[in-house]
């Protein structure tokens, strides 16, 4: 029997505001998300650890949920 392909939800994260003036932990979180420049957008798989990171810097980023691929 063929295995089912699991669809992974993706989240599109865009850096809207500079991290200057915020804590070192916030800057490190943005770097771990792959965001370096304002208006830079990355797509990440939707996981609980990613959601925790996004909650930490939600005042700096915009989050859009993508349909499963």
pLDDT single digits (tens) 53-67:
999 999 999 999 987
* Model pLDDT, residue 8: 84
- 28-41 b/e (C-beta count within 10 Å ≥ 16 → b): ebbeebebeeeeee
Determine, yes or no, domain membership for 16. Answer: yes
Determine, yes or no, domain membership for 47. Answer: yes
Q: What is the CATH number of the domain that holds 44?
A: 3.30.1390.20
Determine, yes or no, domain membership for 5. Answer: no
Residue-range definition of the domain harbouring residue 15: 10-66
Determine, yes or no, domain membership for 27. Answer: yes
Determine, yes or no, domain membership for 2. Answer: no
Exposure on the CB side of residue 37, measured as CA atoms within 13 A: 2
* Model pLDDT, residue 6: 74
pLDDT single digits (tens) 4-39:
667 889 999 999 999 999 999 999 999 999 999 999
Determine, yes or no, domain membership for 62. Answer: yes
């Amino acid at each position: 029997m063929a295995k089912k392909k699991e669809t992974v939800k993706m989240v599109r994260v865009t850096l809207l505001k500079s991290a200057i003036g915020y804590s070192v932990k916030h800057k490190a979180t943005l770097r771990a998300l792959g965001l370096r420049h304002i208006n830079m957008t990355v797509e990440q798989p939707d996981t609980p650890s990613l959601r925790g990171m996004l909650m930490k810097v939600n005042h700096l980023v915009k989050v859009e949920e993508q349909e499963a691929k």
